[in-house]
Structure 1
Amino acid sequence: MTQQTQQLQAQLWNIANTLRGKMDADDFRDYILGFIFYKYLSKKMELYANEILEPDQLKFRDLEGHPQEAEYIEAVRDAALDKLGYFLLPSELFSELARRGNSGGKHQFILGDLTRVLTHIEQSTMGSESEEDFGNLFEDLDLTSSKLGKSENDKNELIVKVLSHLEEIDFDIANSESDMLGDAYEYLIGQFASGAGKKAGEFYTPQQVSNVLAQLVTLGKDKLKSVYDPTCGSGSLLLRVAKQVKQVGGFYGQEMNPTTYNLCRMNMIMHDVHYKKFDIKNENTLEKPQHVDMRFEAIVANPPFSAKWSASPLFMSDDRFAVYGKLAPGSKADFAFVQHMVHQLADNGTMACVLPHGVLFRGAAEGHIRKYLIEDRNYLDAVIGLPANIFYGTSIPTCILVLKKNRSEAKNILFIDASQHFEKVKTQNVLRDGDITKVIDVYKAYSSGAFDDAEVDKYSYVAPLAEVAENDYNLNIPRYVDTFEEEEPVDLQQVSQDLKQLEKEIRKTDNTIQQFCDELGIDTPF
């Protein structure tokens, strides 16, 4: 990470902290991230418009009042909708609103104008290919909310301050080689997540966990045809996969929470993922899957742990679940997500998902599904135990399951116990770079067939499928990785001598107390 990126992150976080006042962090998150996104769209619009107007020696801001204003605006609009997916007028640019709010040496009322601009950004895409990708993106920026202030002037005052502070920061958007703003944006999402308690798991996976999942599914590849996350949250996992390869053909995801769905689309665009290259849907993945007929080369996920779902008997005729003969219980949808992902995994693909430890050993329907995946399909490639307390909002220990469909020759499963390899940072446990590298190096060795290198004492073990079957398909990691540490032998002779010495010291102390009591003419306490 460059010093410039770190500086930008610090500036944005400082604005978020100093301006939100008494507003709840979750609420202010939506405003600050929304306004950063608005500035990004404005700057991209202006840069692109200036580029296509350059042959005419014009700037985008010069078009208003130009004799051929209507013709130029129409031409820029058509080009922008195809290239960028949206359109803004020169008067609707972020910098114009910020300037208007501070004109005349005092804050001017701009809430009405700002509301119209944000609405127009969404409306500009109607009837175009990008309509679904930009629709309702700003619905969480309620500029009439009392959370912004008691009076309209109070609300306006806060908004103008936010716009003014953001206007002073250089986002370096013109630099096509830099993803500085995208990284800073994701940093802010992570910072808000760290203080969001139980809600955080709904929209953010810690970067170190995302890093592990991304490396697992991209091992040996520098290009991916597609990557999919059925519970994509803010999109951090999808974007992390993109950092591991040179090219990703398409990003696909589904998110049930509307606010988080908007955040994901913003995050994609802020990382310069073209609107034609991502397809994010807002629906319940298990109940209403939106990409069910597609197959993906890489799948990553951090589903909500042990979530409830309908488990309706009707799903027994659903292709995702029918072949198993059992549904995951309604009280724990963990394996329902696994079944869904396996269904969507391409034959040459790899999936890696984070799940609670219970999936490794719970019985009944879950035990049946687990056995089917291993015995009948031979899809399970690796089980990786993670430390407790590394996810926001829950302290439970978790694991990563890695599954592949092209394991026909493989007759074993890799087990890694990384649960004791972490650093405690404040109240959270964190995987260090070395902890991540160790996991990936062992998995690489295993994938290449170098089992001797893949087996590390007290850390990892390559279990034959026959051994897993002997354990009745119970995947509890201590059954396979022996982490028992022998205690040093106790020297009983030394213990005896220590006790004798202690007894002498006790007698000496008792005698001293006896002398003091005699001098004072009182009874001894013993």
Structure 2
Amino acid sequence: MTEDQKKKLEQKLWNIANELRGKMNADEFRDYCLGFIFYKYLSERLVNACNDILKDEDGSPTYQTLDENDDATKDIIEALKDEVLGGLGYFLKPSELFSNLAKRGAHTEETDNKEQDIKVDDFILGDLQEVLNNIERSTMGTESEDDFDHLFEELDLTSSKLGRDPDARNALIAKIMLHLDSIDFAISDSESDVLGDAYEYLIGQFAAGAGKKAGEFYTPQAVSTVLAKLVTHRKSRLKSVYDPTCGSGSLLLRVAKEVGKDNIGHFYGQEMNRTTFNLARMNMILHGVHYRNFDLKQEDTLENPQHIDERFDAIVANPPFSAQWSAKKIFESDDRFAQYGKLAPSSKADFAFVQHMLYQLDDNGTLAVVLPHGVLFRGAAEGHIRRYLIEERNWLDAVIGLPANIFFGTSIPTCILVFKKCRENPDNVLFIDASQGFDKAKNQNLLKPEHIEDIIAAYDNRLEIDKYAHVAPLSEIADNDYNLNIPRYVDTFEEEAPIDLAAVTQELKQLDKDMAELDKTIQGFCDELGIEAPL
């Protein structure tokens, strides 16, 4: 698919999403739209798998045309279920396929103005709800049960926001399904990830309209790319990648784009918000990550970590900035925090997330995390933790300052901290001031590919770059009392052009002379008119 075709597809999906947009807020219509896309994906993936098997049958029937009421066909469907369930992790009968339900729910008629008008042909809401429930039921007792459990719970088809009565809701859903059914997502093309890319595009569009809530589920793609490039630096394969605040899973999938999802052994993530957790599971499956290769959990990472015995090659995270946490006294003996001697303050969990991730970072792993600038210089417990990480453990590898206003829902400047337990450059810490490298958009600053490349090149080469990068010896950081505020290390001061006072004096004298001449001219005009001059 060409870039132009991709953009047209994305626009078409966004137009379909807007069928719902006027009826509910961004995070609500996001859940419906993405849920229907996911259902379509599951259907088409199942059809492809079953049709590959049916090619060996006489007459080569297609799965979507099999008659479920025929006794012989029932046996074929059951045999197909046994064969594909282990690989796909779910099953749908022919009547439950997205395309069959969409075609039954609506048809198109040509109107007087030659446009296609959708007419409701049958009531499908009840059947649709049953199909979504059956997808989950089909996984019960299998390895994929946890990955599909309550996956469609956000799709409340009885909501009055979809229409004032069942008929109105049915008409809207039928219309959306028929529009989606007309789109070819090229699922059979193993080299293409059209649907995954389109899904990511929609998540980003929804985030742009969700305001402050967007930070709960989406990291801007450019920032995700920087983090992914940092943790995969000089690596072509990872045993595991982890995100303790995984949101919609975009960071994990961005790492997969850098090295290829087949070059990552396992994906791990944890997310506290149930709706966002469901979004992340859908996102992983839509991007072709097999259910056996990801393990996402819904829990509070700091209070109830779910992967505590695992150690990870790569960790990426964009935790909620300065979130509150309990900081209970019991955590002082928790292995994640005990060695530091202090807990992060209950009003700012930033370093608690860092401590948690460092505990789970493998000895040869890399951690890249986005944090607010306050972590660089705040004192008290945070200052103590910061000093311990540098002076005692020497795990901090780089500090990267990002532009302000690049995240949805907040305009504050942020930074990326890079940590390694076995550092190639143990005698120094790299500081990069990338705060001025952005393009200005209407509501948000944007990191362009050239800005990302500048950051990664500076990290890769680890050189002094005037007004951009500085390699600070550990002694310099100690002299600054472990304050990591970037302007202490990267001097971005621009000298003003020197002023020629003699030239300015001459210019002022000339202005006085010109003013005197002008006054004479005005006096002459006023004399002719017989009025007093405004002197």
**Common fold by TM > 0.5:** yes
- 1:279 aligns to 2:291 (yes or no): no
Match of 2:96, as an amino acid?
E
1:62 shift after superposition: 1.7
Kept after mapping to 2: 8 A contact 1:217/1:351: yes
- Mapped partners of 1:78, 1:27: distance in 2: 36
- 1:214 aligns to 2:228 (yes or no): yes
- 1:398 aligns to 2:401 (yes or no): no
Q: Identify the residue that residue 74 of structure 2 maps to in structure 1.
A: 70
Q: Identify the residue that residue 451 of structure 1 maps to in structure 2.
A: none
- Mapped partners of 2:237, 2:266: distance in 1: 11
Q: Identify the residue that residue 473 of structure 1 maps to in structure 2.
A: 482
Which of residues 94, 99, 104 is equivalent to 1:100?
104
Segments of structure 2 that go 5 or more residues without pairing to the other structure are 110-118
Q: Identify the residue that residue 509 of structure 1 maps to in structure 2.
A: 518
Q: Identify the residue that residue 505 of structure 2 maps to in structure 1.
A: 496
Matches within 5 A, 1:374-389: 374-389=390-405
Which of residues 85, 88, 93 is equivalent to 1:89?
93
Q: Secondary structure at the match of 1:249?
A: strand
Q: Identify the residue that residue 6 of structure 1 maps to in structure 2.
A: 7
More divergent stretch after superposition (98-107 vs 486-495): 98-107
Match of 2:163, as an amino acid?
G
Q: Secondary structure at the match of 2:426?
A: coil
Match of 1:358, as an amino acid?
G
1:104 shift after superposition: 9.3
- Percent identity between matched residues is 67
Q: Identify the residue that residue 433 of structure 2 maps to in structure 1.
A: 417
- Mapped partners of 1:400, 1:472: distance in 2: 20
- 1:262 aligns to 2:278 (yes or no): yes
1:524 shift after superposition: 4.0
Match of 1:481, as an amino acid?
V
- 1:306 aligns to 2:326 (yes or no): no
- Mapped partners of 1:517, 1:339: distance in 2: 81
- Mapped partners of 2:130, 2:83: distance in 1: 22
Match of 2:392, as an amino acid?
D
Question: What whole-Å deviation, never above 9, does each CA across 1:335-369 have from its counterpart, x for those lacking one?
Answer: 01000100010001000000000000000000000
Match of 1:73, as an amino acid?
I
Kept after mapping to 2: 8 A contact 1:63/1:72: no
More divergent stretch after superposition (506-515 vs 297-306): 506-515
- Mapped partners of 2:200, 2:520: distance in 1: 70
- Mapped partners of 2:227, 2:107: distance in 1: 49
- Mapped partners of 1:20, 1:389: distance in 2: 25
Q: Secondary structure at the match of 2:136?
A: helix
- Mapped partners of 2:517, 2:175: distance in 1: 75
The 1:240–1:26 alpha-carbon spacing in structure 2 relative to 1, beyond 3 Å, is: same
* TM-score using structure 2 length: 0.94
Match of 2:470, as an amino acid?
Y
1:20 shift after superposition: 3.1
- Mapped partners of 1:318, 1:19: distance in 2: 47
- 1:445 aligns to 2:445 (yes or no): no
Kept after mapping to 1: 8 A contact 2:477/2:484: yes
Kept after mapping to 1: 8 A contact 2:23/2:162: no
- Mapped partners of 2:217, 2:138: distance in 1: 28
1:3 shift after superposition: 3.0
Match of 1:72, as an amino acid?
I
Match of 1:58, as an amino acid?
P
Q: Secondary structure at the match of 1:97?
A: helix
Segments of structure 1 that go 5 or more residues without pairing to the other structure are 447-453
1:502 shift after superposition: 1.4
- Mapped partners of 1:164, 1:311: distance in 2: 51
- Mapped partners of 1:212, 1:397: distance in 2: 16
Q: Identify the residue that residue 61 of structure 2 maps to in structure 1.
A: 58
Q: Secondary structure at the match of 1:352?
A: strand
More divergent stretch after superposition (498-507 vs 203-212): 498-507
1:407 shift after superposition: 2.3
Q: Secondary structure at the match of 1:297?
A: strand
1:385 shift after superposition: 0.4
Kept after mapping to 1: 8 A contact 2:325/2:349: yes
Match of 2:249, as an amino acid?
G
1:382 shift after superposition: 0.2
- Mapped partners of 1:330, 1:524: distance in 2: 72
- 1:331 aligns to 2:347 (yes or no): yes
Which of residues 289, 297, 301 is equivalent to 2:305?
289
Q: Identify the residue that residue 116 of structure 2 maps to in structure 1.
A: none
Kept after mapping to 2: 8 A contact 1:321/1:327: yes
- Mapped partners of 1:80, 1:153: distance in 2: 36
Q: What is the total number of aligned residue pairs between the two structures?
A: 519
CA RMSD of aligned residues (A): 1.5
More divergent stretch after superposition (58-67 vs 128-137): 58-67
- Mapped partners of 1:19, 1:345: distance in 2: 42
1:77 shift after superposition: 1.8
Kept after mapping to 2: 8 A contact 1:415/1:462: yes
Kept after mapping to 2: 8 A contact 1:63/1:73: no
- Mapped partners of 2:424, 2:503: distance in 1: 59
1:521 shift after superposition: 4.5
More divergent stretch after superposition (472-481 vs 496-505): 496-505
Kept after mapping to 1: 8 A contact 2:90/2:139: yes
- Mapped partners of 2:425, 2:191: distance in 1: 43
Kept after mapping to 2: 8 A contact 1:378/1:408: no
